[in-house]
Structure 1
């Protein structure tokens, strides 16, 4: 498809105001969604890397579910979940929100398909930092927050 399109058509498409606004919306929402969801995903990753509990394998499995679902199927499922006819959609529309086409709905869809990668990468990173280094820093007087941001 790319090679069947002339360079003039590509140039015209790139200059189209609707395409430009769509790209900027995608970049803005993806940046903000990453920042917002990282606030919960990174501490969860740290907890999963540093603790052992009975349901750890189950939680890791649940986190990985969006990875094995095709993105098109995930998009259709999310659309059904947040559409105006769903329970969530009706509750949102009662307070004046419509998730479909709204940056919040776009961010939720982006988060669903990308958070597993963030959690898994952060968890692997935390697992590769020896606990001994963290304990040494704490013993030398570093605060837990300082240890988290400088060593972990």
Structure 2
């Protein structure tokens, strides 16, 4: 009888084996197989050729810009995404639904349109760029412009991850904290932030990953200046246009490995924060 119950307890969801099989097949065909082909195609070039390709000074400069700008943009989105989600959840005001809908605009807007719009806005003759230029601040065709573009496309990830968590927080927790003598800052940092932190880290990871692969919005505002504003996806596209497929897959392999390691670290931090909350 106990054996029968244990078997039944593992069969709560009908069709688990079949659905798991379709899931693995789907992920294998659309995710694992295409990614593995990158590494398989890269092995066709010798180690010396591979190392020379991925350590070229121009390529290294693109690594530095791609990962650095993506990290900075994700940090900015983590801060302001939390602020936007807080305002949308905790306050009622006219135009709230419009602002809530505008958050998803980068999802629907084609990246090329976003790049052209940002370039026109922040160029030296643009509505905003002409005033920044007086202050000696250049955005378009600089690394700062890359950060602006990546921040634009990554904001919705943080807001949409944090917003449901804030909505689920019971206000009685804040009232209890206040009744125990905690001020607003202490309540926010000691009560709200620990609950929101796993979702915030997830939003950060998604914004970071999205920024690493961004191409359309960046190529317009960056200016694609070698050793200065070139991103790695642009160099990959350049090698593909030159029919250098092995060189393109070599750069893609490096991006995949580094991205996987960084996302793994972020997921470990997220798991650690969730475990700390439960303990």
Q: TM-score range by the shorter chain?
A: 0.7 to 0.9
Shift of 1:44: 2.5
Residue in structure 2 matching 1:14, options 51, 54, 57: 54
Structure 2 equivalent of residue 112 of structure 1: 152
Structure 2 equivalent of residue 134 of structure 1: 174
Shift of 1:123: 1.7
| Cα distance in 2, alignment partners of residues 119 and 64 from structure 1 | 9
TM-score normalised over the length of structure 2? 0.48
Runs of 4+ in structure 1 displaced over 4 angstroms?
none
Structure 2 equivalent of residue 45 of structure 1: 85
| Cα distance in 1, alignment partners of residues 73 and 88 from structure 2 | 22
| Cα distance in 1, alignment partners of residues 96 and 87 from structure 2 | 10
| Cα distance in 2, alignment partners of residues 23 and 54 from structure 1 | 44
Where do residues 3-152 of structure 1 align in structure 2 (5 Å cutoff)? 4=41, 6-8=44-46, 10-152=50-192
| Cα distance in 1, alignment partners of residues 117 and 52 from structure 2 | 34
TM-score normalised over the length of structure 1? 0.81
Tell which deviates more after alignment, 48-57 or 1-10. Answer: 1-10
**Structure 1 SS opposite 2:104:** helix
| Cα distance in 2, alignment partners of residues 95 and 57 from structure 1 | 35
Shift of 1:65: 0.8
1:101-148 Cα deviation digits (max 9, x unpaired)? 322211110111011211222222211211111211111122211211
Shift of 1:93: 3.6
| Cα distance in 2, alignment partners of residues 108 and 84 from structure 1 | 15
Q: Do the aligned residues in 1 keep the contact of 2:82 with 2:159 (CA within 8 Å)?
A: yes
**Structure 2 SS opposite 1:126:** helix
- Number of equivalent positions: 152
| Cα distance in 1, alignment partners of residues 127 and 91 from structure 2 | 36
Residues 4 and 37 of structure 1: is their aligned pair in 2 closer, same or farther, counting only changes over 3 Å?
Answer: closer
Q: Do the aligned residues in 1 keep the contact of 2:77 with 2:154 (CA within 8 Å)?
A: no
Q: Do the aligned residues in 1 keep the contact of 2:178 with 2:187 (CA within 8 Å)?
A: yes
| Cα distance in 2, alignment partners of residues 99 and 131 from structure 1 | 42
For structure 1, the residue ranges without an aligned partner over 5 or more in a row are: none
RMSD: 2.5
| Cα distance in 2, alignment partners of residues 109 and 69 from structure 1 | 13
Larger radius of gyration: 2
